[in-house]
Structure 1
Amino acid sequence: MIGIEIFSGPGGMGLGAKYAGIDVALAVEKNAYAAQTYLANHSDTTVVVDDIQNINEFRYEKKGEQTILFGGPPCQGYSKSNRKTRSNENPKNWLFLEFMRTINVVNPDWIVIENVPGLKGMDNGFFLEKICNDLHSLGYTPNFKILNAVNFGVPQKRDRIFIVASRDGIAFEFPTGSFVDNHVSVADALFDLPKLENGTKEDSLKYKHKAKSEYAKLMRGNLRKATQNYVSKNSDLVIERYKHIKQGNNWNDIPLELMSNYKDHTRCHHGIYRRLKEDEPAFVIANYRKSMLIHPTENRGLSVREAARLQSFPDTYKFFGSLDQKQQQVGNAVPPLLAKAVFEQIMKN
Structure 2
Amino acid sequence: MVSKRKSARSENSDYAKERKIDSCKTLKTNEEHHENGQMEEISVVSVARSPQRRERASSSKKSKRNKEDLECRFLGDPVPMEEAMQRWPHRYIEEKDKGRKLGYKGSEEDEELMQAQCHYLQVEVDGHIIFNLYDDAHVKADEGEPNYICKIVEMFAGVDGMPHFRAQWFYRCNDTKIGDGISLTESKRVFFSEIKDDNPIDCLVEKLNIVRVTANVDITAKLAAIPECDYYYDMLYLLPYSTFIHSPPEHVRACSESLSTISTDPDVEVASDAKSGCEDVCQANVTQGLELNVLDLYSGCGAMSTGLCLGAGLYGINLVTRWAVDTNRYACESLKLNHPETQVRNESVEDFLMLLKEWEKLCMTFSVIKGDNLHKNLLSSSSMEENEGADEDDQVSSEDDPEVFEVQKILGICYGDPKEMGKRGLYFQVRWKGYGPSEDSWEPLVGLGNCQDILREFVKNGYKSRILPLPGAVDVICGGPPCQGISGFNRFRNKENPLEDPKNKQLKVFMDVVDYLKPSYVLMENVVDLLKFAGGFLGRYALGRLVDMNYQARLGMMAAGAYGLPQFRMRVFIWGALPTEKLPQFPLPTHDLVLRGVIPVDFEMCTVAYEEGQALEVETKLFLGDAISDLPSVANDETRDEMPYGSSPKTDFQRFIRLKKDALLGASTLDSNSFIDVLYDHRPLELNEDDYQRVCQIPKTKGANFRHLPGVRVRPDKKVEWDPDVERVYLPSGKPLVPDYAMTFVNGSSSKPFGRLWFDETVPTVVTRAEPHNQIILHPFQDRVLTIRENARLQGFPDYYQLCGPIKERYIQVGNAVAVPVARALGYAFGMANQGCCSDDPVFTLPSKFPNIQERLSSVSVED
Q: What is the TM-score normalised by the length of structure 1?
A: 0.91
Cα distance change, pair 227–298 in 1 and its aligned pair in 2 (3 A): same
2:561 to 150, 169, 179: 150
What displacement does 1:261 show? 3.3
Match of 1:84 in 2: 491
Q: Match for 1:267 among 728, 731, 745?
A: 745
Distance change in 2, residues 1:50/1:288 (3 Å): closer
Q: Which residue of structure 2 lines up, in the alignment, with residue 228 of structure 1?
A: 681
Residues 17, 24 of structure 1: 8 Å contact kept: no
Q: By how many angstroms is 1:241 displaced? A: 3.4
Q: Does the CA-based 8 Å contact 1:248-1:276 persist in structure 2?
A: yes
How far apart in 2 are the matches of 1:229 and 1:9? 20
Deviates more, 1:219-228 or 1:249-258: 249-258
1:2 touches 1:24 (CA, 8 Å); kept in 2? yes
Residue 345 of structure 1 and its aligned partner are, at CA, apart by 1.0
More off after superposition, 175-184 vs 313-322: 175-184
Note the residue ranges of structure 1 that are not aligned, 5 or more in a row. none
Matched to 2:555, the amino acid is F
Alignment counterpart, residue 323 of structure 1, candidates 766, 787, 807: 807
Deviation at 1:266, TM superposition (A): 3.0
Query: For residue 16 of structure 1, what is the aligned residue in structure 2?
Result: 307
Higher relative contact order (CA 8 A, sep 6+): 1
Tell me whether 1:309 sits opposite 2:800 in the alignment: no
**Contact 2:698/2:705 (CA < 8 Å) preserved in 1?**
no
Quickly say closer, same or farther: Cα 1:34–1:305, change in 2 above 3 A.
Answer: same
Identify if the C-alpha distance between structure 1 residues 191 and 16 changes in structure 2 by more than 3 Å, giving closer, same or farther. Answer: same
Inter-partner Cα distance in structure 2 for 1:165 and 1:29: 22
Deviates more, 1:89-98 or 1:339-348: 89-98
8 Å CA contact 1:26, 1:47 repeated in 2: yes
Structure 2 contact 483–506 (Cα < 8 Å) conserved: no
Residue 69 (str. 1) matches residue 360 (str. 2): no
| Counterparts of 2:322 and 2:687, CA distance in 1 | 41
Offset, 1:54: 0.5
Distance in 1 (alpha carbons) for counterparts of 2:741 and 2:810: 31
Partner of 1:183: 621
Q: Distance in 2 between matches of 1:271 and 1:122?
A: 25
Residue deviations 1:139-158 (CA, integer Å, cap 9, x gap): 01221111110111122211
Shift of residue 90, structure 1, vs aligned partner: 3.2
Count of residues paired in the alignment: 347
Aligned partners of 2:641, 2:583: CA distance in 1, in Å? 47
Task: Check if 1:173 corresponds to 2:585.
Answer: yes
- Kept in 2, the 8 Å contact 1:259–1:265? The answer is no
Worse-superposed segment, 129-138 or 224-233: 224-233
Distance 2:689 2:334 in 1: 32
Question: Does residue 53 of structure 1 match 2:350?
Answer: yes
Deviation at 1:204, TM superposition (A): 2.2
Measure, in 1, the Cα distance between the counterparts of 2:693 and 2:680. 27
For the residue of structure 2 that corresponds to 1:230, the secondary structure is: coil
Using a 3 Å threshold, how does the CA distance of structure 1 residues 260 and 320 change in structure 2: closer, same or farther?
A: same
One-letter code aligned to 1:9: G
| Deviations 1:27-74 (CA, angstroms, capped at 9, x unpaired) | 111211110111001111111111110123185578x98711110112
Structure 1 pair 341–241 and aligned structure 2 pair: CA distance change class (3 A)? same
1:277-292 pair list within 5 angstroms: 277-291=758-772
Residue type of the partner of 2:771? K
- The CA distance in 1 between the partners of 2:588 and 2:483, in whole Å, is 24
Aligned partner of residue 309 in structure 2, secondary structure: helix
Corresponding residue SS for 1:146: strand
Contact residue 706 and residue 738 of structure 2 kept, 8 A: no
Instruction: State the Cα distance separating 1:198 from its structure 2 match.
Output: 1.2
Q: Deviations over 1:93-112 (max 9, x none)?
A: 12111111101221011111
Cα gap change, 1:173/1:206 in structure 2, threshold over 3 Å: closer, same or farther?
same
Q: CA RMSD in A?
A: 2.3
Cα distance per residue 1:5-48 (max 9 Å; x no partner): 10000111011011023222111112111101110011111111
Please say if residues 706 and 742 of structure 2, whose CA atoms lie closer than 8 Å, have aligned partners that are also in contact. Answer: no
Counterpart residue number, 1:193 = 631
Moved more, 239-248 or 315-324: 239-248
Question: 2:702 & 2:638 partners in 1: Cα distance?
Answer: 22
More deviation, 268-277/67-76: 268-277
| Equivalent pair of 2:709/2:738 in contact (CA under 8 Å) | no
- Give the corresponding residue for 1:244: 698
Q: 1:296 — aligned with what?
A: 780
Q: Find the aligned partners of 2:801 and 2:622 in 1 and give their Cα distance.
A: 20
**Worse-superposed segment, 121-130 or 88-97:** 88-97
Q: 1:300: how far off?
A: 0.9
How far does the alpha carbon of each residue in 1:110-154 deviate from its partner, in whole angstroms, 9 at most, with x for none? Answer: 111101111111111111111111111100122111111011112
Q: In 2 relative to 1, CA 76–252 (structure 1 residues): closer, same or farther, beyond 3 Å?
A: farther
Secondary structure of 1:147's counterpart equals strand
Distance 1:141 1:271 in 2: 43
Instruction: Judging by fraction of residues, say which structure has more helix.
Output: 1
Q: Which residue of 1 aligns with 2:395?
A: none
SS of residue in 2 equivalent to 1:74:
coil
Aligned partner of 1:107 in structure 2 is 518
List per-residue Cα deviations over 1:188-233 (Å, max 9, x = no partner): 1111111011121122222242101111111122223312222122
- Inter-partner Cα distance in structure 2 for 1:148 and 1:160: 6
Letter in structure 1 aligned against 2:770: R
Residue 6 (1) aligns with residue 303 (2): no
Higher strand share: 2
Aligned residue for 1:120, secondary structure, equals: helix
Contact residue 630 and residue 654 of structure 2 kept, 8 A: yes
Question: Deviation at 1:264?
Answer: 6.7
**Structure 2 residue runs without a partner (length 5+):** 1-291, 314-318, 360-465, 593-618, 660-674, 713-727, 729-735, 834-864
User: TM-score, structure 2 length as denominator?
Assistant: 0.38
How far off is 1:173 after superposition? 2.9
- Whether the 8 Å contact between 2:706 and 2:754 is mirrored in structure 1 is yes
The structure-2 alpha-carbon separation of the partners of 1:337 and 1:328, relative to structure 1 and needing over 3 Å to count, comes to: same
Aligned residue type for 2:568: K
SS at structure 2 position matched to 1:241: helix
By how many angstroms is 1:249 displaced?
5.0
Deviation (angstroms), 1:298: 1.3
Q: Secondary structure at the match of 2:791?
A: helix
Return the alpha-carbon distance in structure 1 between the equivalents of residues 633 and 340 of structure 2.
32
SS state at 1:209 partner: coil
Distance 1:330 1:147 in 2: 18
Local SS of the residue matching 1:23: strand
What residue is the counterpart of 2:334 in the other structure?
37
Give, in angstroms, the shift of residue 346 of structure 1: 2.1
- Structure number with greater Rg is 2
Aligned equivalent of 1:128, options 516, 529, 539: 539
More displaced stretch, 255-264 vs 291-300: 255-264
Q: CA deviation at 1:4?
A: 1.0
Which residue identity is paired with 1:330? V
One-letter identity of the residue aligned with 1:82:
F
- Quick one: distance in 2 between partners of 1:208 and 1:78? 44
Deviation of 1:271 (Å): 4.2
- The amino acid across from 2:759 in the alignment is E
Q: 1:273 Cα shift?
A: 2.6
| Paired letter, 2:299 | S
- Give the Cα–Cα distance (whole angstroms) in 2 for the partners of residues 340 and 86 of structure 1: 34
